[in-house]
Amino acid sequence: MTHDCTVSTELDLRLVVPGGPSLPVVTAVRYDAADPWAVCIAFQTGAQDAVEWIFARSLLGEGVAGPVGEGDVRVWPALRGRGSVVHLAMASPSGSAEFEMDRDELVQFLRRTYAAVPVGAESAAVDLDAELAQLLSRS
């Protein structure tokens, strides 16, 4: 069974600048039930340009409650003023960045993804025979 559902939204992320004020970053977050384990965050870097990062949906879900991740992507909750935020740290060979986002906005997005494909049902959302046939037809 293949799901044809995409959940997308814009999240207000802020780039954490050590020793300075955080900077707003325009982002689009997308979840496609056809790739049920992944979430894509597109960071606007110019008028027409965006940089996309794809990582496990479970990182965001688990990162709402506690620190998770190793290496390139790490996620953890924190308090900011009177509200709760979730930090997202990403690293690549060309550099690293840390962002924070409103916890409630992230949870709302995640709930929509869980409605599309519940946690634990990801493998049922993918037609493995069709995926394998597609891969084999490319060779």
Could you give the count of Cα atoms lying within 13 Å of 65 in the half-sphere of its Cβ? 5
78-124: pLDDT as tens digits? 998 878 999 999 998 888 999 999 999 999 999 999 998 888 666 66
Return the structure tokens found at 44: 């606007």
- Enter the pTM of the model: 0.82
Query: CB–CB of 91/72 below 8 Å?
Result: yes
Query: Does the structure show a pLDDT above 80 at 136?
Result: no
- Grouping H, G, I as helix, E, B as strand and the rest as coil, residue 123 is helix
pLDDT of residue 80: 83
The CATH T-level fold of domain 6-134 is Transcriptional Co-activator pc4; Chain A (2.30.31)
Closest CA to 36 of 128, 95, 118: 118
> What pLDDT sits at residue 126?
57
Q: How confident is the model at residue 121, as a pLDDT? A: 60
* pLDDT per residue as tens digits for the range 69-82: 988 999 999 998 87
Q: Do 42 and 50 contact (CB within 8 A), yes or no?
A: yes
Residue 57, amino acid: R
Where does the pLDDT of residue 39 fall: very low under 50, low under 70, confident under 90, or very high at 90 and above?
very high
Q: Residue 132: in which H helix or E strand, if any?
A: helix 128-138
Which amino acid is it at 104?
A: D
Instruction: Over range 37-41, report the average pLDDT.
Output: 93
The residue among 136 and 106 whose pLDDT is bigger is: 106
Per-domain residue ranges for the chain? Answer: 6-134
